[in-house]
Structure 1
Amino acid sequence: MPRLTLFSPTPPDLSAFGVRSLQASLKAAGCDVRLVLFPGSIGRLREDGSFAYRYPDRLVGEALDLAAGSDLVGVSFFTSYFDRAVQLTRAVRDRLGLPVVWGGIHATLRPEEGLSHADFVCRGEGEHALPALLHALARGRGAEAVPGIWCRHGEEIVDNGLAPLVADLDSLPFFDFSGDNQFVHAPEAGRIVPLSPEVLRRALPQVPYRDGRLLRVYRTMTDRGCPHHCAYCNVPTVKALFRHGPTPYFRHRSVPHVLAELRDVTRRYPFIEGVQLFDDTFFSRSLDWIEAFAAAYKADIGLPLFCQASPATLEAKKLDALIEAGLCYVEMGIQTGSPKMRALYRRPESDGQVLSGATLLHARQGRLLPPDYHVIIDAPWEDEEDLLATVRLLARLPKPFGLAIASLLFFPDTALYAKARAEGRIRDEEAAIYRRPFFIPPRRTYPGFLLYLLTFQRIPKRLLALLQTPRALAIGKRLEPSPVYKIIYVLGESCRLAAKGAGALRHGNVSRITGWLARLWRHDPVAAGRKG
């Protein structure tokens, strides 16, 4: 039986949808596949790109012991985990002499770069391409005839096109959460351990719920792709690669398939207390699909439900059907209030649509937790008036709400990457993209200070209005650059942290405090852009 070991540097929640789907499909294809997850944050990345993550040599040695004897090692990763992927790849090739295949969106968009580090690149979806590659290698054949697998023949790159899309997502097995032949770097233990139910329980994300409680949630995805065309996202870039193919890139699973997965995982792990649908725009489904899902979910699962939306897809009938089924939280992407930046981001929503969506959520206050709204800052084309437009829009939205603030990243080959590259804004890609932090605190300008104030729930609207008057704006502008905004940010975050700690103690959530202390001890802070 051919054997593959999958390495995946991944965010701390261990969702790792891509490699879990690959492991399940490889097992179904008769392969022996081992999964090793390396959870870690990106909170230590610096604005100048000077910090690179690196695993301790002892940890790499443990990973190599698990990979020894494999026919092939796969490495799948997000762009921000590039350095860690390169380190693991070099170790496998240099110390084990085994071939390595790269996969994931980054590798799909950068196959030539991938072949400068790995032996193969899987370009496209790997559920069928990887078993074909593994069987070919086990039989002593090359990869030249495997669709979607790029390789080298001497100095020449062999372009094998794209691995075809899986037309019917229901034909795939569920994400593999069995724990069978799965391992994880456990930071608290300082070593790689089997992914037992207890290890998974500790790693599952804990999200805020009512009465100050935290719920352990299972994250899943019910679709692939996205209906939107955002210029900062690499999903439209990948979608464009398949635009002439027979299968649409945006696909979703059926209600019975999704419910069967949720029944299986909640029965297997009774400590799961909620379900978080990680689809970017779950509300893009038809009303019939949503209503069928809501009825089945209420009858079979009944746990608190969390999901994401966009202003263009949020509708009252869909929202109410899901609330009846247990939906308790919605986060929504707004990104900007500036018409100029909306056009640049290819976000067609108007202020009216954003306000309408926020009003829908606020009207169901009590049944829904306060929403979080996503915004993007730090685009080089965004001036202070653009950021003020975002502040003014957010100030019109009904409180309470939280903000999830992200600094713009030029993910490879997106529309904004191409624009920045053409304008000479990207010189060193590793520093400017792969090692750039996902969140840079808004503490340098007066509009950034106003945006930061909106992360607090009890700032009076009159005060916010006063701070946006021409005179206040002129005074605030004169304070740039100044340590004042940095000091305010530090004081604000200290107060926020103290309030969260007090709330955790009041509700008996000691684990929230110990978890924060453990991350502090390990020097592994999370990206802190989500505030509320």
Structure 2
Amino acid sequence: MNILLISVQKDLDIVGLKYLHYYLLKNGYNSRLLHLPNFNLNDNNTVENIDKFVREINPMLIGISLMSIEYYNARALTMYLKSNFKSIPVIWGGIHPTVCPEMCLDYADYICIGEGERTIIDLAKAIKNNENLKTINNLCYLENGQVEKNELYPLIEDLNEIPSYDHIPVNSFIQGENKRIVPIGKKVFKKYARYKGTVYDIMSSRGCPFSCTYCCNNSIDKLYQTKKVRRRSVENLIFELEKAINDNPGIEYINFQDDCFLACNDEYLKKFCEIYKEKINKPFIAAVIPIYVTRNKIKYIKDAGLAWISLGLQSGSDRVCKEIYKRKSLKADFLKAAGIIKDFNIAAIYDIILDNPFENEEDKFETIQTLIETPKPFYPQIFSLSLYFGTELYERAKKEYPEKIEDYLKKDNLLYHKNALNNIIVLSIFLSGKFINKIIYLYKQNQKGIRFKAVLFVARLLSLVIFEPLTYFKVIKLSQSGSYRRTLAVLPNYFKEGFMRYFKQFGANKKYEFS
């Protein structure tokens, strides 16, 4: 039985769909994984090649995974598929259909809510045996115009039962720039994968210990009524990584995509680090939450090979973190964690959220002061707050600031509004505290004055041309243990991703304002 899984994500890093792909293969189904990063329904070549590919495979089920930003492409693709392949059921899964099933059922036949491994197997069995699909757990569908939601399977407790996937998945295809659909081999993978395919993505856990009001985990926690973090065994992780590296000698980094890599006890972490260093011995990347950062834990993972660490500040205002985001991690926690990371000379990426309608001017000044106090250098990951349907913050904004809710289905959250205070927040990452405080003084004196605008303009120009590129270089050098030779050697791997983000801040769809 043939099954087609489709991603319209812009890169090949769709970990969840790869796990489903291999879960189907493990259970004896002929799954094909198709990446459509440049999908455009208005391009005849795109459509013709997709049509040809689907007819050749002749799947009995098509699954499409999507986040909110991919909704419109998924909708257009599904409308085309339903018009031309009427007998093939189409199911949507992923975070957007999970929290917005009603919106999605206008196009998809079925929605998979929550984890999909058990549901996709049940679906495949039912279709193969010509059985009723509407009794399957986690499915959502329309019945006489009414939305029906079936009972949820419990979350998978034993993550070891989920098969690992290959770095270059078998039976995987991509529609490239020439619109032709081709198998993904080593050459094609290197061309289209992020960082030229040198990074292996893996998840050692599912779930987050936090339930921040702006995050999709907020919706998932409400859905399953739990915030439990589930972990794979150390042995299971090492087995997957050993296989990946043996099969793909070009892997240079391991990227752990956990919400918080350190949300585990010291015994587990120490065991992992010892075996990882002995058997894998590759530099790795991990995201953590400040309150889980301790000197001992950082020592363990640094010694095991930690090269990059990602940490969320989000806001330097304790009021915003506590009352708006409901984060248990505050300014002092972040600065303590950042200090430990600095002591161990680890390349750091710190997340900051801008464009929050609930923040006042004083909150923004506190973020600026926090960034001034943060040990340098670090790589900033700056987001414009997206108010996603289904989250607690979306519901609150709907009542208090409905006019501030942007279309999250179209919004690129890497593009923030270039108003004066946002600009100063960003500048505080790259320029000296003394200079930033001078800019703040001028802002408070007369934010519409020529002097303030002129100083801000010059500061932004100097930062963009000199200090930001220099900061990025310094952080990359930290990731290479301070070696200039190795830093220069890896720079080409960062050009496409890092510099794309750098130039994205000049985006035309966000107005530059100096007042």
TM-score normalised by the chain length of structure 1: 0.84
Q: Verify the 8 A CA contact 1:123 1:163 in the aligned structure 2.
A: no
Measured in 1, the distance between the counterparts of 2:201 and 2:172 equals 18
User: 1: CA distance between counterparts of 2:165 and 2:29?
Assistant: 16
- DSSP-derived class of the 2:292 partner: coil
Q: Which residue among 326, 332, 335 is the counterpart of 1:352?
A: 332
Secondary structure, counterpart of 1:179 in structure 2: coil
Pairwise CA distance, 1:29: 1.7
Look up the equivalent residue of 2:432 and give its one-letter code: P
Structure 1 range deviating more: 135-144 or 491-500: 491-500
Contact map agreement 1:444 1:485 (CA 8 A) in 2 = no
* CA distance in structure 2 between the partners assigned to 1:314 and 1:174 by the alignment: 28
Q: 1:71 aligns with which of 49, 56, 60?
A: 60
Map of 2:191 onto structure 1: 202
The match for 1:272 among 234, 246, 251 is 251
Aligned partner of 1:364 in structure 2 is 344
Q: Tell me the equivalent position of 1:450.
A: 424
Alignment counterpart, residue 184 of structure 1, candidates 171, 174, 182: 174
How many pairs are equivalent? 493
The correspondence for 2:208, drawn from 216, 226, 246, is: 226
Q: Which residue of 2 aligns with 1:19?
A: 17
Shift in Å, 1:165: 1.8
1:423 to 2:405 alignment: no
- Could you say what secondary structure the match of 1:219 adopts? strand
1:296 equivalent in alignment to 2:275:
yes
Q: Is the 8 A contact 2:213 2:324 kept in 1?
A: yes
CA deviations 1:208-263 (Å, max 9, x no partner) are xxxxxx9932121111110001010011211221117xxx6521111111111111
User: 482-491 vs 340-349, which deviates more?
Assistant: 482-491
SS of the equivalent of 1:283 reads coil
Q: Which residue matches 2:100? A: 110
Deviation at residue 182 of structure 1 after TM alignment: 0.4
Please provide the CA RMSD for this pair.
Answer: 3.3
2:513 maps to which residue? none
Residue 481 of structure 2: aligned partner: none
1:259 matched residue in structure 2: 238
Q: Distance in 1 between matches of 2:60 and 2:318?
A: 53
Report the alpha carbon displacement of residue 204 of structure 1 after superposing the two structures with TM: 3.7
Greater share of residues in helix:
2
Q: Is the 8 A contact 2:168 2:185 kept in 1?
A: no
Residue from 311, 319, 340 that aligns with 2:290: 311
Give a deviation string over 1:485-517, Cα, whole Å, max 9, x none.
Answer: 57864664355687689x999936684698489
2:151 matched residue in structure 1 = 161
Offset of residue 421 of structure 1: 1.7
2:488 maps to which of 507, 517, 523: 507
Match of 2:262, SS? Answer: helix
Select which of 475, 479, 483 maps to 2:446: 475
Distance 1:423 1:58, change over 3 A: farther
Stretches of structure 1 lacking an aligned partner (at least 5 in a row): 41-51, 207-213
Identify unmatched segments of 5+ residues in structure 2.
Answer: 477-483, 508-515
Matched residues, percent identical?
25
Alpha-carbon separation, structure 2, partners of 1:483 and 1:193: 53
Shift of 1:21: 0.6
Instruction: After TM superposition, give the deviation of residue 150 of structure 1 in Å.
Output: 1.7
Instruction: Give the stretch that moved more between structures: 80-89 or 379-388.
Output: 379-388
Cα offset, 1:377, TM superposition: 0.6
Give me the whole-angstrom Cα distance separating, in 1, the residues matched to 2:376 and 2:222.
Answer: 38
CA distance in 2, matches of 1:95, 1:25: 28
Task: With the length of structure 2 as denominator, give the TM-score of the two structures.
Answer: 0.87
Contact in 2 for aligned 1:123/1:161 (Cα 8 Å): no
One-letter amino acid of the counterpart of residue 7, structure 2: S
Displacement of 1:351 in angstroms is: 2.2
Secondary structure in 2 matching 1:272:
coil
Task: Give SS of 1:329's match.
Answer: strand
Q: Distance in 2 between matches of 1:93 and 1:176?
A: 31
2:25 corresponds to 1:35: no
Aligned position for 2:353 = 376
Does residue 1:9 correspond to 2:11, yes or no? no
Aligned to 1:282, the other structure's residue is in SS state: coil
